[in-house]
């Protein structure tokens, strides 16, 4: 990934440093992660922060040790890399992903979604947002977005 100077400047101008977290003041994605666009592509701000420090994307996942999705401070207690399972385990522990929605549909492959997100995805798609961009916003694959839009998953949600 090649970042332009304009992009880096734009990125740096949207950070407010606190004693602990460095908070993203730009736009946020659906899950509350900082989001910034680069040539039409939406990137997660904390992943960009990691890339600017290490010259590569966090692999396999960029995690927040501070549990603050909009934090872009790279470091062990804040944005660090780890396995995606860690991320899920952390989230489960903090029960942040509990939505109170009925379990219907949760067992299918688009398990990260909730009925509310499904409706948003369909709305965004109707407004002609690219499948890939929607996938980035919701942290799911392009084919999962397609399945949701086509009604192959979450058919019961209208
Ligand atoms: Zn933090």
What separation in Å is there between the alpha carbon of 128 and the centre of ligand 1?
34
Catalogue the long-range contacts made by 87-91 (C-beta closer than 8 Å, 24 or more residues apart). 87/61, 87/63, 90/63
What separation in Å is there between the alpha carbon of 86 and the centre of ligand 1?
17
What separation in Å is there between the alpha carbon of 75 and the centre of ligand 1?
8
Distance (Å, whole) CA 43 – CA 24: 13
Looking at the fold, whether 89 and 20 belong to one and the same domain comes out as: yes
Looking at the fold, whether 144 and 158 belong to one and the same domain comes out as: yes
Token pair recorded at residue 43? 């990137």
Looking at the fold, whether 10 and 38 belong to one and the same domain comes out as: yes
Domain that holds residue 143: 99-158
pTM: 0.57
Q: Each residue of 78-114: pLDDT tens digit?
A: 999 998 876 666 666 665 544 444 334 444 444 578 8
């Amino acid at each position: 990934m090649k970042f332009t100077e304009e992009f880096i400047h734009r990125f740096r101008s949207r950070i407010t440093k606190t004693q602990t977290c460095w908070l993203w003041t730009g736009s946020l994605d659906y899950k509350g992660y900082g989001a910034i666009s680069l040539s039409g592509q939406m990137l997660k701000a904390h992943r960009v922060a990691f890339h600017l420090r290490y010259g590569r994307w966090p692999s396999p996942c960029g995690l927040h040790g501070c549990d603050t999705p909009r934090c872009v401070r790279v470091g062990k207690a804040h944005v660090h890399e780890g396995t995606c399972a860690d991320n899920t385990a952390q989230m489960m522990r903090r029960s942040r992903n509990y939505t109170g929605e009925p379990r219907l549909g949760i067992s299918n492959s688009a398990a990260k979604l909730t009925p509310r997100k499904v409706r948003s995805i369909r709305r965004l798609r109707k407004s002609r947002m690219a499948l890939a961009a929607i996938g980035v916003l919701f942290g799911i694959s392009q084919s999962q977005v397609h399945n949701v839009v086509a009604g192959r998953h979450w058919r019961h949600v209208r």
